[in-house]
Copies of this chain bind each other. A is one copy, B any other.
């Protein structure tokens, strides 16, 4: 089942169910995705009934609809950094220490605004080092404090695809304080469709999205890394997040930049990573960050070629 949110002038938009190919939709009886995830036990069957009607050919065209992010705002956004090859390249680039072994990295990020997949991204200055970060993410229902990873798996209700915008020039000074990022992490963008795990078939296993994330910068392929290479699965990230707090329904948890250890062949899901590779190979970074007017596109396709989450396709502009 695929869910999406249509812009309707309200902060949370209007929930719709979308056909597998994204071409048709039916409006949900429950108004918003936040309301649906808060009452998933009763809302899911009703939404799946609409999904079945879409499967049998019903529904209106999605042409001309303005999709918001599935959750245009969320009460909680916790972003992991679960790909070790990404972490190693960041340590190379920024001269930081590797994290303690055996525990996921995670920060709490801006959650009051998630940009749509096609909205222009207003940022203040090119010299802040504007970078994209292609990620997968999950949306949970209510998660009690202290769940195990096995229990956490059952709380993962939806999967999403995220562009976690980053301002690299501002990151090191914030990171050095130990307090995490405020300036370096503005609002993320999210692909239009939030999908239930069974849509992925066996590409959803071990709490991981086993599909490549294709990233194009200004129309040129930049990376195509496999999502399955997470050191910790999403279920382990959820359990980590819930160690000393319960998680509200509608918590979004991100994978961190999708990255594979064969990054020289497969490319990267952010510019900083390529700069880290250039430092390793050439002694210094050569690729610059984004300019105003630059575009980035990100998409994940099922093995049958179908677009899973829809596409992120957007432009950075002077804010």
Contacts and interface: CB of A to CB of B under 8 A. Distances in A.
Q: What is the predominant secondary structure among interface residues of chain A facing chain B?
A: loop
A101 to B, nearest CB: 11
A108 B182 contact: yes
Contact of A244 (B78, B81, B183, B244): B183
Interface in A217-254: 240-241, 243-248, 251
Contact of A167 (B73, B182, B244, B246): B244
Contact of A107 (B123, B146, B180, B186): B180
B110 A245 contact: yes
B244 A124 contact: yes
Nearest to A251: B112
A175 interface: yes
Interface stretch (A25-33, A92-100, A273-281): A92-100
Contacts of A112: 75-76, 247-248, 251
Contacts of A99: 177
Contacts of A179: 81, 105-107, 175, 180
Contact of A73 (B75, B146, B183, B187): B75
Interface string A160-191: 00000001001001111111111110110000
B145 A182 contact: no
Contact of A146 (B103, B124, B247): B124
Contacts of A107: 108, 179-180, 182
A180 B128 CA distance: 21
A283 interface: no
A173 B105 CA distance: 11
A75 B111 contact: yes
Contacts of A180: 107-108, 178-181
Contacts of A123: 244
A109 interface: yes
Nearest to A38: B11
A62 interface: no
Most B-side CB within 10 Å, residue of A103, A175, A246 = A246
Given A76-B110, A124-B145, A183 B243 contact: yes
A241 B186 CA distance: 11
Nearest to A106: B182
Nearest to A78: B182
Given A76-B111, A108-B109, A182-B240, 12 more contacts: A73-B248, A97-B176, A106-B179, A106-B182, A111-B111, A112-B251, A176-B178, A178-B178, A180-B180, A182-B245, A184-B244, A186-B244
5 contacts: A105-B179, A124-B244, A175-B179, A176-B178, A183-B244
